[in-house]
């Protein structure tokens, strides 16, 4: 392979400087102009020369855990204590489950040594050295277990090379703001600092001499730990208590320990406890969504081997984390594929992806700390009876080694625990379930409020809905393109991508603008649940979002009704402006990432049929005012976000199908949408609306101002 670069210690480093498209110098005076800021450096993966002494190809069987190695682990190791490594070696050698895990990991080790590189993935940022460097933790665990010379040399080369890279690399200037006078370390700085701290403390001077240890500790301090402390101290009163705090504080705990800085350690432990106590809602929900909960909690768990039992008790005691399982469980669709294999599709909004694999280490942690039985059940349901094998695989990648050899008890299902089928969470999600059975219909609606983490990773999508049934994810959220993609601003972060009402072609209010948001309106949106009731055969949630719009509204009420005996959802939008006439657009987006969906108008006005391979969805719209209805194409990205625009996960036009109902020149509207999931070869129930009565099959639903009448039961949509 040919490439250009600069040689460094047996390595050719490939880094580039991003070109700035167009340069405009602002005139400061007749004789002076501002000097444009230099474009950020981009550090790509280095290519090292493979040692000549290595055989042409090593085999997985060449990597053998040695019991005597555990005794040589330094007592101060933050990678895992001698006792942990002793138990892990025994498990990997003497237990068949452990041997299976080691065979998988040894395959990776052989591949890494043969290619003389750290990563073979094509995922997020896989070409950027800052992300690939994290794999050194995995290699260091294997080196401690085996003492393999090749692994040791590969670790040495990368540590020495990374330590000599400039601060722009450690700060990751390509994405993060860099102030040379007082650099503040972000997420990438945090992970690199924790990795270096663990490698150094686990090395008993086999890899680095005492003199080199001292130099590397200085690197850890100046390029890692100090910038992290700068970030933390600059935000001591910051109310935006989000995933950044969790990641940076937990990594700074590790670097503070490695450097012996007790004051910093105490401070960082306090900030970490503050995150666990104050960022998670009291009901266990999390405002950034499941994906942006998984990242910080997985990072914290990966550092547990560095924390004493007393420190773990300090940070986890009395945290709302104890309630996290109900929030996670309620959002799963419990979907299976055509072969009956569980599929991890779940309720999602904002920047989150719709696929969420529950981490076994989280289930073990919450069970160990709080006695939770629900997360072990979810792990078994989604990952199979041998899910605990995965927890050991996690250990080899430094995800909770301190938990790995514990045996989790059998879990208990949501139905067994008697969990409700209607949920309204402080994080904003409201969820209606038909049952806890696999593939049964589930619908969720999103609210708008700051939550404990402010509006981070949220969008202007109050009252937006997602829905799945019978093995199909029907009504979808857009997920997220690269944050640098034009689509992220023009589509993802605009109300046009949501399944809700847009007024006058303007986004709902939102406090943060993203480049490309031409419909953006600044503001702090707020919604509130005005009614929730579960009567068994039907359930209702109503949400008022008048404070989510720039147009002054008397009401912006969306009511969702589930008729359980026929698996039908009814969505009622009751909107009224304080004055003037306006355009009201209601959009629905349907899954078509596989190109297997069709959306066709039916004979009756306002009726459409969405067809999918496993099930269909009948959609019927009613409005007293004149309504223009049309179909179109939208975007839905893959569950994983790309690092750069135009990546493999970015959705193409038509990856979602759109149904738009537009009502123009009205001060007030009532729009009714009936969603009927249909098993294949099933016919939709007849639906009609007249004189305030919605008829769905043989059911009559009275719809009047602020009230529903279903049989002999009346539901007030506003608290009386």
Give dist(CA 523, CA 512) in Å, integer. 8
The three-state (H, E, C) secondary structure of 370-425, written as one string: HCCCHHHHHHHHHHCCCHHHHHHHHHHCCCCHHHCCCCCCCCCCCCCCCCCCEEEC
Looking at residue 368, what is its pLDDT?
85
Tokens 């039992």, located at residue:
309
Is there a single domain that holds both residue 320 and residue 374? Answer: yes
What single DSSP character describes residue 182?
S
Is there a single domain that holds both residue 152 and residue 221? Answer: yes
Is there a single domain that holds both residue 234 and residue 307? Answer: no
Interstrand relation of 501-503 and 582-591 (parallel, antiparallel or unpaired): antiparallel
Is there a single domain that holds both residue 548 and residue 617? Answer: yes
Angle 83-84-89 (CA atoms, 0-180°, nearest 5)?
100
Give dist(CA 362, CA 118) in Å, integer. 26
Is there a single domain that holds both residue 347 and residue 427? Answer: no
Flag whether pLDDT at 29 surpasses 60: no
Looking at residue 238, what is its pLDDT?
61
- Taking the C-alpha atoms of 226, 230, 236 and 237 in order, what is their torsion angle to the nearest 10 degrees? -170
> Is residue 152 in some structural domain?
yes
Mean pLDDT, the chain, whole residue set: 90
Flag whether pLDDT at 333 surpasses 50: yes
Give dist(CA 386, CA 388) in Å, integer. 5
* 520-563 per-position pLDDT tens digit: 999 999 999 999 999 999 999 999 999 999 999 999 999 999 99
Flag whether pLDDT at 709 surpasses 70: yes
> Is residue 268 in some structural domain?
no
Looking at residue 720, what is its pLDDT?
54
Quick one: angle between helices 136-146 and 96-115, nearest 10?
120
Region 489-496: mean pLDDT is: 96
Strands (E), 403-525: 422-424, 429-433, 442-446, 465-469, 472-475, 501-503, 509-510, 521-522
246-271 per-residue burial string, b: 16 or more CB within 10 A, e: under 16: bbbbbbbbbbbbbbebeebbebbbeb
> Is residue 444 in some structural domain?
yes
- Kindly indicate the confidence band of residue 10, based on its pLDDT and cuts at 50, 70 and 90: very low
* 123-153 per-position pLDDT tens digit: 777 789 999 998 899 899 999 999 999 999 9
Flag whether pLDDT at 3 surpasses 80: no
H runs (alpha helix) in 556-708: none
Q: How many domains does the chain have?
A: 3
From residue 384, alpha-carbon distances to 19, 132, 389, 449, 483 in Å are 49, 30, 10, 37, 34
- Taking the C-alpha atoms of 98, 413, 431 and 521 in order, what is their torsion angle to the nearest 10 degrees? -20
State which residues form the domain around 198. Answer: 45-247
Is there a single domain that holds both residue 433 and residue 564? Answer: yes
> Is residue 159 in some structural domain?
yes
> Is residue 182 in some structural domain?
yes
Q: Point out the least confidently predicted range of 205-209, 312-316, 383-387, 657-661.
A: 383-387
Tokens 């496993």, located at residue:
614
Quick one: angle between helices 187-202 and 243-259, nearest 10?
30
Looking at residue 406, what is its pLDDT?
54
Give dist(CA 327, CA 425) in Å, integer. 8
Region 365-386: mean pLDDT is: 89
> Is residue 671 in some structural domain?
yes
Looking at residue 634, what is its pLDDT?
98
Is there a single domain that holds both residue 52 and residue 71? Answer: yes
Token representation of residue 566 = 């026929």
Residue after which a domain boundary falls, among 361, 388, 412: 412
Nearest to 655 by CA among 633, 673, 671, 639: 633
Flag whether pLDDT at 389 surpasses 70: no
Is there a single domain that holds both residue 397 and residue 502? Answer: no
Region 365-388: mean pLDDT is: 87
> Is residue 672 in some structural domain?
yes
Nearest to 363 by CA among 346, 387, 347: 387
Region 224-233: mean pLDDT is: 97
Residue after which a domain boundary falls, among 412, 431, 448: 412
CATH number of the domain that 451 lies in?
Answer: 2.70.98.70
Is there a single domain that holds both residue 303 and residue 446? Answer: no
50-63 per-residue burial string, b: 16 or more CB within 10 A, e: under 16: beeeeeeebeeeeb
Is there a single domain that holds both residue 483 and residue 540? Answer: yes
* 236-295 per-position pLDDT tens digit: 866 668 999 999 999 999 999 999 999 999 999 999 999 999 999 999 999 999 999 999
Region 413-433: mean pLDDT is: 98
Give dist(CA 187, CA 176) in Å, integer. 9
Position with higher pLDDT, 470 vs 37: 470
Residue after which a domain boundary falls, among 247, 266, 297: 247
For residue 423, the cross-strand partners are: 431
Is there a single domain that holds both residue 405 and residue 430? Answer: no
Is there a single domain that holds both residue 595 and residue 655? Answer: yes
Strand, coil or helix: what is 114? Answer: helix
Flag whether pLDDT at 403 surpasses 80: no
> Is residue 359 in some structural domain?
yes
Q: What percent of the chain has pLDDT over 90?
A: 77
């Amino acid at each position: 392979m040919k490439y250009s670069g600069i040689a460094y210690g047996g390595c050719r480093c490939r880094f580039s400087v991003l070109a700035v498209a167009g340069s405009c110098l602002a005139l400061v005076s007749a004789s002076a102009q501002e000097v444009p800021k230099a474009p950020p450096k981009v550090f790509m993966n280095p290519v090292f020369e493979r040692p000549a002494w290595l055989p042409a190809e090593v085999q997985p069987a060449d990597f053998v855990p040695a019991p005597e190695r555990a005794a040589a682990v330094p007592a101060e190791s933050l990678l895992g204590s001698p006792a942990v490594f002793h138990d892990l070696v025994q498990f990997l050698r003497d237990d068949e489950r452990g041997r299976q895990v080691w065979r998988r990991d040894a395959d990776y080790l052989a591949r890494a040594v043969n290619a003389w590189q750290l990563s073979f993935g094509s995922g997020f940022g896989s070409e950027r050295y800052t992300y690939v460097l994290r794999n050194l933790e995995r290699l260091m665990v294997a080196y401690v277990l085996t003492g393999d010379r090749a692994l040791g040399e590969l670790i040495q080369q990368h540590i020495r090379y990374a330590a000599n890279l400039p601060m722009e690399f450690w700060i990751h200037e390509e994405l993060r703001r860099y102030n040379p006078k007082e650099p503040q370390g972000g997420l990438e700085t945090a992970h690199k600092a924790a990795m270096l701290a663990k490698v150094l403390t686990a090395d008993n001077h086999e890899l680095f001499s005492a003199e080199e240890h001292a130099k590397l500790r200085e690197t850890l301090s100046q390029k890692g730990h100090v910038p992290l402390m700068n970030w933390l101290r600059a935000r001591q009163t910051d109310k935006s208590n989000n995933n950044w705090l969790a990641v940076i504080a937990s990594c700074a705990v590790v670097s503070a320990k490695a450097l012996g800085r007790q004051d910093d350690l105490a401070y960082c432990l306090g900030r970490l406890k503050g995150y666990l106590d104050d960022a998670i809602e009291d009901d266990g929900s999390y405002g950034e969504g499941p994906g942006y909960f998984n990242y910080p909690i997985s990072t914290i768990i990966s550092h547990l081997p560095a924390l004493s039992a007393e420190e773990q008790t300090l940070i986890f005691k009395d945290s709302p984390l104890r309630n996290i399982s109900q929030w996670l469980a309620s959002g799963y669709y419990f979907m299976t594929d055509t072969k009956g294999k569980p599929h991890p599709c779940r309720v999602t909004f904002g920047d989150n992806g719709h696929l969420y694999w529950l981490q076994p280490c989280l289930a073990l942690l919450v069970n160990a700390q709080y006695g939770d039985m629900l997360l072990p059940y979810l792990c078994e349901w989604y990952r199979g009876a041998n899910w605990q094998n995965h927890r050991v695989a996690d250990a080899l990648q430094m995800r909770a080694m301190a938990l790995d050899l514990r045996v989790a008890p059998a879990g208990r299902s949501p139905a067994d625990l008697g969990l409700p089928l209607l949920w309204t969470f402080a994080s904003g999600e409201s969820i209606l379930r038909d049952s806890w059975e696999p593939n049964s219909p589930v619908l969720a609606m999103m609210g708008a409020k700051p939550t404990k983490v402010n509006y981070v990773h949220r969008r202007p999508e109050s009252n937006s809905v997602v829905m799945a049934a019978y093995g199909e994810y029907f009504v979808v959220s857009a997920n997220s393109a690269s944050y640098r993609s034009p689509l992220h601003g023009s589509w993802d972060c605009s109300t046009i991508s949501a399944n809700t009402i847009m007024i006058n072609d303007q986004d709902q209010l939102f406090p943060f603008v993203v480049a490309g948001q031409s419909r953006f309106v600044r503001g702090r949106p707020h919604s509130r649940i005005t009614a929730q009731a579960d009567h068994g055969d039907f359930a209702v949630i109503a949400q008022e979002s008048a404070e989510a719009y720039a147009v002054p509204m008397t009401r912006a009420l969306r009511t969702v009704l589930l008729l359980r005996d026929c698996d039908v959802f009814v969505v009622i939008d009751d909107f009224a402006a304080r004055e003037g006439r306006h355009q009201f657009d209601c959009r629905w987006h349907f899954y078509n990432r596989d190109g297997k969906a069709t959306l066709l108008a039916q004979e009756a006005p306002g009726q459409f049929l969405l067809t999918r391979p496993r099930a269909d969805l009948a959609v019927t719209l009613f409005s007293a005012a004149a309504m223009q209805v049309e179909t179109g194409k939208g975007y839905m990205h893959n569950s994983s976000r790309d690092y750069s625009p135009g990546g493999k996960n970015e959705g193409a036009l038509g990856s979602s199908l759109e149904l738009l109902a537009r009502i123009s020149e009205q001060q007030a509207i009532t729009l009714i949408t009936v969603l009927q999931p249909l098993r294949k070869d099933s016919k939709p129930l007849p639906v009609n609306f007249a004189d305030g009565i919605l008829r769905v099959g043989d059911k009559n639903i009275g719809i009047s101002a602020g009230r529903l009448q279903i049989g002999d039961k009346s539901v007030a949509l506003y608290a009386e």
